[in-house]
Amino acid sequence: MPLFRRRLVPALAALAVVAANGCASPKALLQLQVQLSEAADAVNDIRVNMSVMQDTIDSLRIVVAKQDSTIFRLANATGVQIIK
């Protein structure tokens, strides 16, 4: 009998936890849904911001490359050596 009780007590405890979680109120479920929606919106905003930042970085790379080539052309025209 003690072996049966040792198995029965944890099983009943697990059943009680499952039953308590299964009876969530609609208000709590609505709040959870609102929070998940807000989190999804925040993640989407982060993605948009990352996209804008990536475009800015790409644009800055183009500007730096143009300035770099202009500096090398000026250096070649004046005979100045540039150490890389």
3-class secondary structure per residue, 55-73: HHHHHHHHHHHHHHHHHHH
What distances in angstroms separate CA 54 from CA 57, 66, 78, one per listed residue?
Answer: 5, 19, 36
Residues 6 or more apart whose CB falls under 8 angstroms from that of 74 comprise 80
In this prediction the pTM is 0.55
* Cα distance between residue 49 and residue 53, in whole Å: 6
> How many CB atoms are closer than 10 A to CB 38?
10
* Per-residue model confidence as pLDDT tens digits over 9-68: 676 666 666 666 666 788 888 998 999 999 999 999 999 999 999 999 999 999 999 999
* pLDDT beyond 90 at 3: no
